[in-house]
Amino acid sequence: MPWNRGSHAADGNGAEGPTTPGGSPAAAPGPSGEAGAPSAVAAVPRPAAAAEAPPRETAWRAPDPATRRRVLPDAEAPEETGRTVLVTGASGMLGREVALGLIRGGHRVTAFQRSDAKALKASLGERGRERLHQHRGTLTDPDAVERALDGADAVIHLAAKVSVSGPWEEYEEANVRGTRVLLQLARWAGVRDVVYVSSPSVSHAGSSFMGQANEPADPCAARGNYARSKAYGERLALEADGEDLRVGVVRPHLVWGPGDTQLVERILERASRGGLPLLDQGAALIDSTYVTNAADAIVRCLERIDAAHGRPLVVTNGEPRTVGELLTGMCRAAGVPEPVRRIPSPLARLAGRVIEKVWERRPGEDEPPMTEFLAEQLSTAHWFDQRETREVLDWMPAVSIDAGMERLREYYRG
């Protein structure tokens, strides 16, 4: 389900294969969604039939991240292991935490994205900064990718186009073609291990996820351009897996944490203006993942690549909560009004279809306030069996949902 924000749009992923003949999918898109994915909770409808809460004079404002930033002390950056890991999309919240985890584990990191990962650099002490190198470019530029891969022993690929709207060609360019380029050049550069960060949405065909584990990606059934393009990218990644290049796939679900501009802060801003309703009373039961847990699992996949390669692994906290509980918890943590409006999901889906048509002709500056796909995600259960993931990775989430909410409170109200 695409609610995360972990990856940043316009960087890409790759290896040649039969997945998308001629570079384009054969099947027409259906309406599915997730890690590193567009924010579904934050985009909400405003149908005329629903009672509007009175607008507030001043909307909530996020604190300056520079005043909340924790710097990784040199004492937490042990002796180097000698390994260099290329991280794509390190400017995003999840990519930054992955890079910090690698440096904390003694690895050198090469960060690759369109612009410098300034927040990542600012989060490092002197020793950590010595282990960080940055390359700017896009994953569809083979020369830029080749330069970034120079000296790398492994790759963690998070970068993606993440949105709930936009033409298929943009998703295909970043999430399919970019993946193909990266995987192919990584193999030629002698890289041994790759972790591809995917999304549970790649196997979502519209019905609820209730205890499923790691279903195969299905681009023909995936609902929405983001999910469909990530499904093609995941297929390319798994097709590239072999003796010379071991590829693991991690699917974090609904990643959130302090300073999250893709999900948490959109929710808080809209809630502060009374513009955050619940669909069907907010009763859909969903899994989510605190950001450092997601990052730890991704790094763990690289460390356990012998056991983890060649299969997809969904990652969550394993603590399903209702949509209403999650939204209320985030609002309480930041001290903004909790959502009180209620909208039936059929009405939201209808509004989403209408808004999509309007957005195609007259797109706004931000994401559309609702799409049919987002309404589906907000009113559909998504929770997963974590037993295989935890056994393969030998991993458990360190931060509970409640502890994560307390960290939100400390960040936004401290």
Q: How many other CB atoms sit within 10 Å of the CB of residue 304?
A: 15
> How many Å apart are CA 226 and CA 104, to the nearest integer?
32
Tell me, what amino acid is at 410?
E
Rounded to 5°, angle at Cα 111 from 263 and 304: 85
Chain-centroid distance of CA 278 in Å reads 22
Q: Which residue do the tokens 């356990």 mark? A: 304
Instruction: Please give the Cα distance from 171 to 231 (Å, whole number).
Output: 11
CB–CB of 109/123 below 8 Å?
no
412 is catalytic: no
Between CA 224 and CA 94, with CA 157 as vertex, the angle to 5 degrees is 80
How far apart are alpha carbons 121 and 131 in whole angstroms? Answer: 10
Residue from 171, 226, 232, 411 carrying the catalytic annotation = 226
Of all residues in the chain, what percent are helix, strand and coil, respectively (each to 5)?
40, 15, 45
Please give the sequence-ordered ranges of beta strands (E in DSSP) within 178-310, or none if there are none. Answer: 193-197, 209-212, 246-252, 255-256, 278-279, 285-286, 289-290
Hey, which residues are catalytic here?
Answer: 226
